[in-house]
Amino acid sequence: MIPSLPKTAVTAFVLALLIAALLTPNLRRFAEAHGLLDQPKDSRRVHRRAVPRIGGLAVVAAFYGPLLGLLLYETELGRRFYERGASGISLLAGGFAIAALGLYDDLRGANAWQKFAVQFGVAGALYWCGYRIEQVSLPGGALELGLFALPLTLIWIVGVINAMNLIDGLDGLAGGVALCAVLTNLVVSMVRGEPIMTLCMAALAGALIGFLFYNFNPASIFLGDTGSLFLGYVLAVSSIRTHQKSSAVVSLLVPVVALAVPIVDTALAMARRALAGRPMFSGDREHIHHRLLGLGLSQRQAALVLYGTSAALGGAALALAFAADGLPRAGTGLAAVRPAAADFAGGAAPAGTPASAASPLTRRVETLRGSVPDKVPFAAAGGIAA
């Protein structure tokens, strides 16, 4: 059973969509007036005219706007966010740092080593704050990574950040591919009872849809590094949090499948340049989207093909998550979603509270909960991250 989207997440989605849809055209006019344009100055670029390149600021603002409003407002969700201490604050602070790096690159230009220094610094801070890949679940038990947890976590975060940056080569491509992965994480976070991640994914989904009104082919504004790096950051970190304490055999495989398009494209680019003896950070026209254009597809057609591929992979990732967790099934599915449902219903009624005093949703959840055998442990359904 997949729970319905909570009201706070719906609110975040709608607000983010409106902010992105209203802010993007204003950013476009500002960029055109100040010459902040992406020029078609080399063969890698497929556009033939100068296009504003700071659209990522709209996505960042649309993501943070509703989140900060909802989390600063005194609610049960806000209380849970602050109870996480550094874990909660670091998620938002790291996003600001990555967005600032992208904006600097869009405005002034940053070399690869400068980007890596900031990215690895942010990833290291997140590891210290609890965002870690500490084990890989295998049939028969979990493999504890020990000393390898730190490098694997850093490689995952920095790798996904740059994978989203590299896939941003066609109108609307990075935004659409990211949206498929965001929706995958949204469903998994809802089922596994992760209200903060549900809220974040709903806000990012709204921000992307609002921005894609202007970024889909023919694009009138680009994400720029501000947007593509930020998208990679949020997807990398949310994947760690959403799957961090899953008991699933394929817990690490799920986000890899969901993000397979940018990950495979980046891996192929690295292998291609290594075999050719070219610098690892040199650009070329041999990415997946360039090859689709070479087959005769238009920009729009190539983007739609990769959208469809990403959506199919997202579906496969959900199937893996549900199969491994035993979801959705008539008992375990309900056991997994109950904590999230209770949170967004205002929490379970305190002990001794008459049934009539509880909220309708809480009473319904408690009624259904009574039909679940006590022998079904919550941990078997995937658990909930601290």
Structural domain count, the chain: 1
Residue 368 lies in a domain: no
Residue 30 lies in a domain: yes
Q: DSSP secondary-structure letter at 37?
A: E
With tokens 């078997």, the residue in question is: 380
What is the structure's pLDDT at 121?
96
Nearest to residue 155, comparing CAs of 176, 133, 140? 133
Residue 277 lies in a domain: yes
Contact 170, 302 (CB under 8 A): yes
What is the structure's pLDDT at 333?
34
Residue 330 exposure: Cα atoms within 13 Å on the Cβ side? 3
Other CB atoms within a 10 A radius of the CB of residue 220 amount to 16
Residue 349 lies in a domain: no
Helix (H) or strand (E) holding 141: strand 141-144
What is the structure's pLDDT at 347?
41
Q: DSSP secondary-structure letter at 298?
A: -
Which positions of the chain have pLDDT values less than 50? 1, 245-250, 328-386
What is the structure's pLDDT at 379?
31
Nearest to residue 304, comparing CAs of 172, 201, 207, 178? 172
Residue 257 lies in a domain: yes
Residue 353 lies in a domain: no
Contact 340, 4 (CB under 8 A): no
Residue 42 lies in a domain: yes
With tokens 């974040």, the residue in question is: 200
Other CB atoms within a 10 A radius of the CB of residue 316 amount to 16
Residues 6+ apart with CB under 8 A from 331: 371, 372, 373, 376
Residues of the chain with pLDDT > 90: what percent?
39
The residue segments making up the domain with residue 38 are: 7-325
What is the structure's pLDDT at 233?
96
Contact 253, 320 (CB under 8 A): yes
38, β-bridge pairs: 51
Residue 362 lies in a domain: no
